[in-house]
Amino acid sequence: MIPATLSSVERLAAELEEHGLADFQLAFVLGSGLGAFTERVADAHEVSFEELADMPVSRVPGHAGRFVVGEVAGTRVIVQEGRVHLYEGWSAHEVTRSVRAFARLGCRALVLTNAAGGLVPDWPVPSLMRVVDHLNLQGRTPLLRTEVGRGSPYDGELGAALEGAAEEAGVRLFKGVYAGLLGPTYETPAEVGLLAKIGADAVGMSTVAEALAGQASGMRVAAISCISNHAAGVTAAPLCHDEVVRAGAVIAADFCEVLERAVPRLTAAIG
């Protein structure tokens, strides 16, 4: 029995270990419509969020809500398919609980993925973007008073590993800055115009808190956005969540190929 005196992160880490979800070097968090990567995991063992008392559960379509552990390209990994969001009412600490639990279990590198709106008109939809930095516009941070942010949480060497994997796979991987907003509403054209002026290339409602918590917990962090639609005002097309999920399905093969080919490179980077 897990002692009630443990913190929520410690309890979740203990639950993951009890359910056979341990001994992994890399962790992946999959965003809306990007769950196809779990099919690349060999000897997979899966556990739903609902089986874990201390894991928050999302009700957003496209977030299956399960952990899958197994091997990809000879490396043991854990894949979190789905996440919870601040706009669902969860706190920043609840949103990042699983990331911190990964670190407590000895995970050394974290790859975050998300679906995002694109602010660059010339980028095709869907396409992939490596996150090189972010704008935290969510009005809150997951960091504790004892934790100090150390600049951009996105590791350059891990980012280069993703770029090398994309080149090997023949997939174009753009680079840019991700703006994280609170949501749940899509941005107005005026807001998108402002985001572009302050340096954003893509916008979404996740990732920034997980990246900050991952770095603060001692992991090296990388991130990829699936540019699933043009943000409001970039084109005249209306926005909807179904479009986001469909875009993930369209680009799934490229997305999965890049991640799978990246695993040996990521493993080499973390030694």
Catalytic residue list = 32, 63, 85, 87-88, 115, 205-206, 229, 241
Alpha carbon distances (Å) from 40 to 68, 236, 255, 269: 11, 36, 11, 21
Helix (H) or strand (E) holding 165: helix 156-169
* Residues comprising the chain, all counted: 271
Helix (H) or strand (E) holding 69: strand 66-72
**What residues pair up with 71 in beta bridges, in sequence order?**
42, 76
* SS3 category, 81: strand
Angle at 167 between CA 165 and CA 169, to 5 degrees: 70
